[in-house]
Structure 1
Amino acid sequence: MKVLHTGRGTAGSWQCRGVQMGHAIPRASQRDIAQADAVVLVKRPYPGFLEAVRGAGKLWVWDVVDAYPQPACTSWCRADAIRWFRAELKRLRPHGVIFPNRQMAIDCNTVVPSTVIYHHHRIGMAINPVREEVSTVGYEGSPVYLGGWLKHLLSACEARGWSLTVNQGVHADFDICVAFRDAPFNGYAQRHWKSNVKLANCHGSGTPFIGPAECGYTETATGLEEWVDQPAALSAALDRLADYGVRQRISGAFQNKAITVEKCREQLQQFLASL
């Protein structure tokens, strides 16, 4: 089956859920769409998408990863989030929906055919060598989202003689990887509907992880992740991961649990074939 991935082509999720999944054209035209057997819209529609896909008469599914408006959604409760999804589903009328995690699928409970496809790890990641001594804690993502977490991380690293790096190097350079989102960016939708992408990259590289117990993370966890939802719990998590043997064990378990792009492509093909 020839599958075309399309979308606005600007978000970070476009690379993972679009380009790396197969044939991808941002803002595909009706002519582009007509050459495919099925279309996957990643995140949000661009102007003219609905007219193009309907004009081509093609089967299409909506990959709803990160599609809700951010940070506006931070103030939403669960009911608000579900109301937004149902309004969008009614407006878009896809033949199927791809959810980024099971909790979002449960919350939305759509009658439209749906599936859950978790994020795969970045292709070609170097494996973490797991150094005997910790020296570097790494964060990958917008530093704005860290908010107050930044000072807690800097303080904890300084107390141990470690350094905190933000968007420098790759996961294999980090002894520990962290993922946090401060209150202004951390509402119901983010905690329950966000993908597992940051943890997926730690699994793929075998890099120990500290982060919040968000649904996308807990659903794909090995049991060796360090869940930290409050700054008071950060020091204990860092101390546990200072142990070389602990980090070695984590690295092996993470690599065994890693979600590959091949697995995600296979899941997608199976879902499309079922429609």
Structure 2
Amino acid sequence: MPYLKFELPNSKIRILHLDPMGSDVLHTHQDEYQISIPLVGNPYCEMNHTKVVHLSQHQRLVTMPETTHRHFTQEQPAKILLLDVKAKFLQKVLRDRLHCEPGTIEFATVGVGSSDGFRKIAEALLRQSMFGGTDAAQLAEWELELVNLLLSLHPGSHHSQWLSSVPGEMHPALQKALEYIHDTYAEELCLDYLAEISGISKFHLIRLFRETIGQTPSHYINEVRLTRAVEMLTATDREVTDVALDAGFGSLSTFHRAFKKKYGVSAGQYRKIR
């Protein structure tokens, strides 16, 4: 069960190799969240002696602090990227963004979609562990980026607040646009009207979105609607068509394309694996 390992002040990065019928030791992280991302194969994770999750290449697993768990394989070997993040650091990043005490952050067990961002950060940090040459400031930036990715991409109790907030000082026109989007995401939204209620040109609004949030207005609206759809899929038994329309998608086909692009599976499949 060999692995590569790199430790930072608030996180650890490891790559775990498991042979066929292999397993790591049953263990618990007292004060850390652990992200498990399959790199090769489709490993399993047993949690609290009862729940078993089978991970595919489009999924990642988050285990909460104090969750007893182990990774294992059956007939095929696996390689797993393990990212451990201290709970206090995660809460600090969330508190700094939301300007309030976040309390315990409850993540969904399984997240669906690309984990390329996590892999790129891990590769950069592991290269640093072998060759050196990166200063403490760069390491701190990578560690912060890792936590921002987790909070942005993985569903949890924080997700709606996180997506509706932006870091730092915000242009008042952008604030108006964001508030309007979150109040009316289920309605038809167009860029011209967003610009009108914000009091600036649509080109200025696009620039503010890109500079402050890193997305275009249409992309951001899509993210808000998908987040709301995931909340309804996991918390209710409503039909997928109703979920799509209530989340603001104009048609079921548009919803299916957007959902599959972000999460790698259909809405129906997502509901089954949750």
Query: If the length of structure 2 is used for normalisation, what is the TM-score?
Result: 0.27
> Could you say which structure has the higher strand fraction?
2
Which fold has the larger relative contact order, with Cα–Cα distance below 8 Å and residues 6 or more apart in sequence?
A: 1
